[in-house]
Structure 1
Amino acid sequence: MLAFNNTFFNWPTFSFIGIPGLEAAHIWISIPFCVLYFIALVGNAVLLILVRAEKNLHEPQFYFLAMLALTDLGLSLSTMPSVLAIFWFDVRDIGLNACLTQMFFIHTLSSVESGVLVAMAFDRLVAICAPLNYTKILTHYTVACLSGAALIRGATLLAPLPFFLRTFPFCGANILSHSYCYYPDMLNLACGDITFSSAYGLVFVLCTFAVDVVFILASYMKILDTIMKLETQDRNWRSLHTCACHLCTVLVFYLPLISLAVLHRYTEDTSPILYTTMSNAYLLMTPLLNPLVYSLKSRQIQAALRKRFWVQRVIAGE
């Protein structure tokens, strides 16, 4: 009976990889990883605190920014335990349940982040193309609906994936190609016919990331068309500057995502170090760079940071 289905009675374990060929230097490599994770956690936490505390940031674009920061915190906390466990303690094994849980949160939060980026593109579209109706269209209710839709879409579409993987036996070495659990990676280790599960994964990508990219591109085409019709070059520059933060965030999120997808497609000729680097960059660079981008490019965020820093200095008696 135990041999009938190892998914339910003899659950497999999976093994992570670190950085191939550099195992002896893992403890030193962990130092920059710890610094980057710390910056990502602190940066996104500061953004959440600023948006909550500063009344002049109680606007739709900053509510979406807070949602983005919350999602980035979730992504960092989802991957940090397994990554640092490899570098610090050489702990590479993970059980099926823990792996499926990590995979679900990683993919769900990635989908939510993509949906939030679409909402932010819609916010910029309305702000530039219909500024007089901005407050009527982007109400608190609309912001809540857009954020909730991104969350529900991600969780709903991702819910079947763990159940698909549970139906397969895993009869090989079960060595994962990343420092975390990733659906295509786990599916490649499954024994049996994975055609339907693979097709569903493709449908998920098309219904989320592909649709989101199309909407973002269409939004910016409309934005550029509107800006080109403005009379003065100064107004053109000021209008484009409001989109700079969002465009940087879009590039930071989608470029590693697309690169990792391409590497998964052509893994045979890919350098293991490049593959591992891109897989870590996919989930680490976005939470790390988003707070830095908005701190450097958004005047409102800069003003809020200066205000908070000045208040803290006054309280400290400096």
Structure 2
Amino acid sequence: MDKNELVRLLALEDFGPVYERADQVRRENVGDEVQIRAIIEFSNICGRKCRYCGINSTNKSIIRYRMSPEEIVETARQAVSAGYRTIVLQSGEDPCFHKETMGQIVKAIKQMGAAVTLSCGELTSSELAYLKECGADRYLLKHETADPILYRKLHPCGTLEDRIECLRTIDRLGYETGSGFMIGLPGQSLKTIADDLLLLKQLHCKMAGIGPFIPHPDTPLWNEKEGSPELTKRAVALARLVLPKANLPVTTSLGVINQKEKENAFACGANVIMKKVTPDPYKEAYQIYPAKLEKTDIQKDRNLLEEQIRGLGRIPL
């Protein structure tokens, strides 16, 4: 599909046949399994000034934290014991987590038999290579928008060119490369979303996180409208058609807006869900967007999620 075709499909009055096709392609390529991944948000300290993000460096209203390596490894151990096969380590761009420290954490988790996904922002080529050598399997770095002008407005301390170059480095080093974008950003159009989808393919993405924009009250975009769940699901479905074998998560943000929409996304191409296992009270302080969060109970939360997935006719993994 080219850009014009993607725009046409996004604007369809009746998207039902596309959803059915995306679900069929998902079943043919990745099966009925839903991969459940544990996400540990180990630091909300970030040097970036992204105008939509609640943990950006200009927000003085939040309590900053940084988990110790021992806390991170212990949380990962509990998650693996609960049945998680992949640990996602996510943070802001925290300068105090040097590659050697992260490398030791990655090695410790790999010894538990789990896969490791990193999502720590833009790193240098040498840092990325070192962490790959330590055993990191995947790297998730969302490009957020393929429109360079819109990117510049949202990211006063970075460029789309740098972000794309970092993603190309990640792919070149042999990571399972993940990117993604938001639906509903101020100034976004259907053409922008089509460009986002095509960029995922150009970057050889094996993962793609697509979620609705949710305004955070302590950011410059606090009074903007949230993104459309329906348009988000359409983008997920088209991502499945563009990237048939990719891992496509139902993003947490989609469920924040509407739990029903979150469940429905599994019927339009998604095959992954990430569950927060970040310890209390750290979890409350890691708010890229506002959300009502329950207390963390790793085993109980895992069991409940498995039950919900089986109720949708899918197989939890």
Higher helix share: 1
Specify which structure has the higher proportion of strand. 2
TM-score, normalised with respect to structure 1: 0.23
Q: What TM-score results when the alignment is normalised by the length of structure 2?
A: 0.23
Larger Rg: 1
